[in-house]
Structure 1
Amino acid sequence: MRNRKTTLMLNALGLALATFAHAAPPVPTAPPFAWKSSAPLVRPPADAPHILGVKDPTIVHHDGRYHVFMTTAGKGGWHMAYTSFARWEDAPQAPLFMLDKSPIGPGYRAAPQVFYFAPQKLWYLIFQGGDPLYSTTTDISDPKSWTAPKPFYAAAPDIVKVDNGKAAWLDFWIICDDSKCHLFFTDDHGSFYRAETPIERFPQGFSTPVVVLKEKREDLFEASNTYKIAGTNQYLTLVEAMGPGGRYFRAWTADRLEGPWKPMPGAPMNLFAGAQNVRFQGRVWSEGVSHGELVRAGIDQTLAIDPCKPLRFLYQGLDMLPGKKYEYIELPYRLGLITATGPNPISTLCKK
């Protein structure tokens, strides 16, 4: 006959086994990102020896063509350029138009972002000229049609000023939901900021920025870009970081553009793209993966990406000659395309 202690132990074991049998199965972890890279697709023009690098691309696909805006760097400083092509294989031969020949004008212009603001039926080009600036056009295919730049803020907010009183803010990025437009940017010192304005007031009325992420300088550096993941209630933010293998991108997600932003699981340092997970066909031409943009599913201010299609990211790659010393403005940046090669944390969100 069982004693009372044995009976209690068997009953407890039975309860534990029953609980285990009915427990929900563990949620599978999405596989990490993996990419393949093209060769360099956009280089400095052969007939413009003063341009040493092309970088900071932004891209939309409209009317059967890719429209790409970028920073040019070289002996004359930082400016912007535009190119367009129907197929990726046509990109190396596509001519560059220098936007200082448009009403955007000469002077420091860099780090563009382009999108179509549907409520006003206008294309917006966001860029930095020290402070955040914007120009507009009704025809993205005509690079001479951009308006003269205008500022988002009458003066730099105190929160972005450093000890010498100068503003430390760069790489400005706009994305809108149904009611607000949000301005994101970084400061090269480990802070990621957000400001907002009602969508009916855009491009005016932006609030005082607030810090939404704060990490070490090298872990949250610059070149943020944020997207709506189509068919979900999720947003994706990418921010460039620095590591032993060069620049790389980290990924965060949120249910609202206001945050909170949570690191995307699946890889150390919530890795999105970098030397560790990008493979090259032929020569490994790029040191790391730096400032770039995902190819979007549409053109408007919601910046949607399609999780049901392979992700493509147009990036600036650093194609340096071994042993050569470069000044920062002389760095030989080229534009290349990485394409996701398998399931990843974004593709697992596809509802089809």
Structure 2
Amino acid sequence: MKQEENIKVGISIGDLNGIGGEIILKTFEDSRVLDFCTPVIFASAKTMNFLKTHFKSEINFNNINNLSQIAHNKVNVFNCWKDEVKIEFGKEDMKIGAFAIKSLESATKALKDGEVDVLVTAPINKHNIQSEAFKFPGHTDYLAQELEGESLMFMITDTLRVGLLTDHVPVKDVSTHITSALIEQKINTVYNSLLKDFRIQRPKIAILGINPHTGDNGVIGSEDDEVLRPTLHKIKAQGKLVFGPYAADSFFGSNNYKNFDAIIASYHDQGLIPFKTLSFGQGVNYTAGLNKVRTSPDHGTAYEIAGKGVADENSFKEAVFSAIRIFKNRTSYEQLTANPLKKSPKKERR
């Protein structure tokens, strides 16, 4: 297994008019981070030097044109464009969106080719990235196409993990998307991620209901009784510790979430509102279920504070360290399963 300092972290620059550049610089201004990984920012030397000057950063970049030139104990910048970039903080700009995609595509190729070990993505604007060539709602959907596996949006902290049955789906369409096959797929993805990526030996997973009060015996919708409960019974019969469905309105307020290793919400806001309320600025968005590791901070471009030097880098920094931990856990799990006589490590502390 690679030593921590050799784990190469590919970083897509995100929306340059947002706070992505600032939080990247702040994260790696602490040189101690370089003891744990080798960062590779996918952008350009000119762009990063502009950001360095604007934010009065003292980072010395190692500018490279070939990924074979990556240097350890340095903040590497891989030049994936030569164009002049006009950065106007706080402004939505389609041209800036195009640079965000250039960075993402270049970093993803490096990830697929094994030139970097993990990917950490800075925030993008989901509107200005759209083009004839790129028609994805966001990072997760694009990476699901480019990488192998079944992707799942998994919001994580040290003590809370929330997955989603449906992610960027309009509320009016949620119930039609939730099928028995989808429920099985997402639960299996969460279960396997807890085993491999977080080294939890007997995961306990809670499922939140689709309708208010899980349908109140059909009074407020039939999906919980007709789709969700029968599927959960089937999964329980396979020996998995899966519980629910629970009424979402009281689940987090009652602290019941603390009894589980992960919670699966039926739709985006049902899971992300409580997650961000409990952990905003400390959480990480992890794309579970893929053959490569990708994380990102739990916030967006924050145009309203972009360029002002006041952005909090903690979520991005945690995304970097989470990617490293997951990569190490997954690697050791693969080694353990290849050599089952090797002693199993203790369950990860929660």
User: Normalized against structure 1, the TM-score is what?
Assistant: 0.30
RCO higher in 1 or 2 (8 Å CA, sep ≥ 6)? 2
Max radius of gyration: which structure?
1
User: Normalized against structure 2, the TM-score is what?
Assistant: 0.30
Structure with more of its chain in strand, by fraction: 1
